[in-house]
């Protein structure tokens, strides 16, 4: 079915019932070749490859999230096994106990509670904390500003490593009073952002991104990428999908894998691409996504997403929605995206329905239902909702299953605009004449003299 690019064809307005008939016949070979193109299958997530994209605490939390939200028992146990192994490389005994409880003996004795390891880590933590307190007190007594900053920063890293996120955030923020360079401020902001993301406090994320961006000195390109990713996550959490898309689309190739403790390059492509599909108009999708050389590098990491974006722009909606359907189960296992998948999918589908109907005077709903792989009754309900929300200017012939567009009366609208402009001009002229007469007769001067 033709998209918006065909709307300039004067014959298009005459296609009442033969909606897309010529195109269907002329492009039968291309459509059949598209059907033969490999579509991503609903294969389950490769947990090992997925976990390899991340590092630090977010790697563990993503694995635990998969275990909590996946119905596949094999994936659950695999995610918990990897989380267990990753925790043993760190110092977070509280998280270790939680994961052991989730495993509940399903992985055998090698993945049970290791009291010896936990007690050893806790003893070392107490000694480390005492040492840090002693050093910080010494620095504060001697008023060594840089040492105090480093002392609070060390405390923040200590608390973060042991899972005390609230205390870690406080310690990192306290370094602000002892920062002497822009580099110190950016380091403080990045640390606060990291902890805030882990805590789910995205208001703090937005605040500290803003603080970092206001530093007087130039910021390194990789740091700029990190700040844009963090801002994108904050907008995504706030359901401001268009702003989120813009931030992710601005991320440059300098980011690389440098932010793996928060986000992977594949996530930049996924989050940015889906948010753009849901919120950008056709021209923005072309200019800011498809023709964006920097973002194209990210899309190459997720070929399925690249293909569905191109399909959407090319008005191949059935193929696009098929891609989305195959991606959905894995997207629901993403720690940041899972709450937004349904809303994003609904918005993308609604945009597809709107764009499909836009160039035509009338649409055969049976053809349209076939294009969207749905029933006519189901499509009719979707169109009714869009018409009610004024997203589609049309009316439905339920008996003949035809959607008729309500094209605005351009002639009447032009007359109305001319009359409105004339009235505004007349009012402006009268106001100017009144002011000129007041000045001519010195009305303001007389009143001021009387006072």
Phi, psi of 292 (to 5 degrees): -80, 105
User: How high is the pLDDT of residue 399?
Assistant: 82
- What is the band of 410 on the pLDDT scale with cuts at 50, 70, 90? low
The pLDDT of residue 362:
83
Kindly tell me the burial class for residue 129, based on how many C-beta atoms sit within 10 Å of its own C-beta (0-12, 13-18, 19 or more). middle
pLDDT the model gives residue 447: 59
| % the chain with pLDDT above 90 | 50
- Residue 383 confidence (pLDDT): 86
3-state secondary structure of 305: helix
SS3 of 6, please? Answer: helix
Which two structure tokens, joined as six digits, stand for 52? 């390899």
Query: Contact 254/222 with Cβ under 8 angstroms?
Result: yes
Specify whether the CB–CB gap between 39 and 323 falls below 8 A.
Answer: yes
Give the whole-angstrom CA distance, residue 396 versus residue 2. 20
Using CA atoms, how far apart are residues 64 and 61, in angstroms rounded to an integer? 5
**Could you tell me if 386 and 354 are in contact, meaning their C-beta atoms sit under 8 angstroms apart?**
yes
> Is the pLDDT higher at 73 or at 27?
73
Report, as an integer, the average pLDDT of 360-375: 83
In this structure, what token pair is assigned to residue 20?
Answer: 């897309």
Torsions phi, psi for 34 (to 5 deg): -65, -35
Q: Using CA atoms in the order 247, 248, 249, 252, what is the torsion angle rounded to 10 degrees?
A: 100
Q: What is the pLDDT of residue 448?
A: 57
Encode pLDDT of 142-154 as tens digits: 888 889 999 999 9
What string of DSSP letters covers 42-100? -PPP-HHHHHTT--HHHHHHHHHHHHHH---HHHHHHHHHHHHHHHHTS--HHHHHHHH
Length of the chain equals 451
Mean residue pLDDT across the chain: 84
For the chain, counts of helices (H) and of strands (E)? 23, 3
pLDDT of residue 200: 92
- The domain ranges of the chain are 363-407, 420-450
* 168 pLDDT tier (thresholds 50, 70, 90): very high
Alpha-carbon distances of 42 from 45, 345, 349, rounded to whole Å: 9, 17, 20
Could you give the CA distance from residue 349 to residue 372 in angstroms, rounded to a whole number? 9
pLDDT band with cut points at 50, 70 and 90 for residue 315: confident
**Burial class of 353 by CB neighbour count within 10 A (0 to 12, 13 to 18, 19+):** buried
Mean pLDDT of 291-300: 91
CB count within 10 Å of CB 142 equals 10
Per-residue pLDDT, 209: 94
DSSP assignment of 340-401:
GHHHHHHHHHHHHHHHHHTT-SEEEHHHHHHHTTS-HHHHHHHHHHHHHTTSS-EEEETTTT
Which of the four pLDDT bands, split at 50, 70 and 90, describes residue 396? confident
Query: What pLDDT score was predicted for residue 33?
Result: 41
SS3 201: coil
Return all residues near 245 (Cβ < 8 A) that are at least 6 apart: 232, 272, 275, 276, 278, 279, 280
| Tokens read off for 425 | 């001009």
Kindly report, residue by residue over 111-142, the tens digit of the pLDDT.
Answer: 989 999 999 999 999 999 999 999 998 888 88
334-350 confidence digits (pLDDT tens): 999 999 999 999 999 88
CA-based nearest residue to 155, from 125, 121, 182:
125
Contact 223, 190 (CB under 8 A): yes
**Alpha-carbon span 241 to 229, nearest angstrom:** 13
Say if residue 210's pLDDT is above 90. Answer: yes
Q: CB neighbours of 98 closer than 8 A, spacing ≥ 6?
A: 64
With 90 as the cut, is the pLDDT of residue 268 above it? yes
How much of the chain exceeds pLDDT 70, in percent?
87
Q: What is the mean pLDDT of residues 256-271?
A: 93
Phi, psi dihedrals of residue 298, rounded to the nearest 5°: -70, -40
Q: How far is CA 448 from CA 307, 435, 442, in A?
A: 74, 17, 10
Q: Which helix (H) or strand (E) holds 275?
A: helix 265-279
Confidence (pLDDT) at 407? 59
pLDDT, tens digit (0-9, with 9 covering 90-100), for 2-27? 344 444 443 333 333 333 343 333 34
Dist CA 224 CA 263 (whole Å): 14
The Cα 433–Cα 227 span in angstroms is 55
Banded model confidence at residue 449, pLDDT cuts 50, 70, 90: low
Which pLDDT score, from 0 to 100, does residue 31 have? 42
Tell me the per-residue pLDDT of 300-309, one tens digit each, with 9 for 90 and over.
Answer: 999 999 999 9
């Amino acid at each position: 079915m033709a998209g918006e690019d065909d709307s300039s064809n004067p014959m298009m307005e005459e296609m009442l019932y033969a909606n897309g008939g010529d195109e269907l016949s002329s492009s039968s070979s291309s459509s059949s070749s598209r059907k033969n193109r490999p579509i991503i299958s609903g294969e389950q997530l490769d947990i090992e490859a997925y976990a390899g994209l991340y590092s630090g605490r977010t790697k563990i939390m993503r694995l635990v999230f998969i275990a909590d939200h996946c119905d596949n028992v094999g994936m659950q146990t695999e995610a918990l096994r990897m989380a267990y192994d990753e925790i043993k490389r760190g110092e977070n005994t509280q998280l270790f106990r939680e994961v052991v409880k989730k495993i509940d003996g399903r992985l055998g004795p090698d993945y049970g509670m290791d009291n010896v390891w936990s007690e050893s880590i806790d003893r070392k933590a107490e000694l480390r904390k005492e040492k840090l307190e002693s050093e910080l007190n010494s620095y504060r007594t001697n008023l060594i500003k840089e040492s105090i900053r480093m002392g609070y920063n060390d405390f923040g890293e200590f608390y973060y490593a042991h899972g005390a996120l609230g205390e870690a955030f406080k310690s990192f923020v306290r370094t602000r009073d002892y920062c002497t360079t822009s580099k110190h401020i950016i380091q403080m902001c990045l640390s606060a952002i990291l902890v805030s993301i882990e805590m789910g406090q995205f208001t703090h994320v937005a605040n500290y991104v803003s603080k970092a961006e206001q530093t007087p000195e130039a910021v390194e390109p990789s740091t700029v990428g990190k700040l844009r990713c963090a801002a994108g996550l904050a907008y995504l959490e706030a359901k401001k999908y268009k702003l989120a898309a813009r931030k992710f689309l601005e991320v440059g190739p300098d980011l690389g894998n440098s932010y793996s403790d928060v986000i992977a390059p594949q996530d930049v492509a996924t989050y940015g691409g889906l948010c753009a599909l849901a919120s950008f108009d056709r021209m923005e999708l072309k200019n800011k996504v498809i023709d964006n050389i920097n973002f194209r590098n990210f899309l190459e990491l997720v070929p399925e997403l690249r293909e569905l974006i191109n399909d959407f722009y090319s008005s191949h909606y059935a193929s696009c929605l098929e891609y989305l359907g195959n991606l959905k189960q894995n997207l629901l296992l993403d720690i940041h995206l899972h709450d937004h998948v349904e809303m994003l999918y609904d918005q993308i589908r609604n945009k597809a329905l709107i764009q499909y109907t836009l160039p035509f005077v009338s649409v055969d709903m049976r053809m349209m239902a076939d294009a969207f792989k749905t029933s006519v009754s189901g499509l009719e309900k979707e169109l009714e909702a869009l018409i009610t929300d004024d997203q589609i200017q049309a009316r439905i012939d339920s008996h003949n299953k035809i959607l008729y567009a309500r094209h605005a009366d351009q002639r009447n609208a032009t007359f109305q605009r001319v009359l409105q402009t004339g009235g505004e001009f007349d009012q402006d002229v009268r106001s100017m004449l009144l002011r000129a007469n007041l000045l001519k007769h010195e009305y303001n001067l007389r009143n001021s003299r009387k006072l």
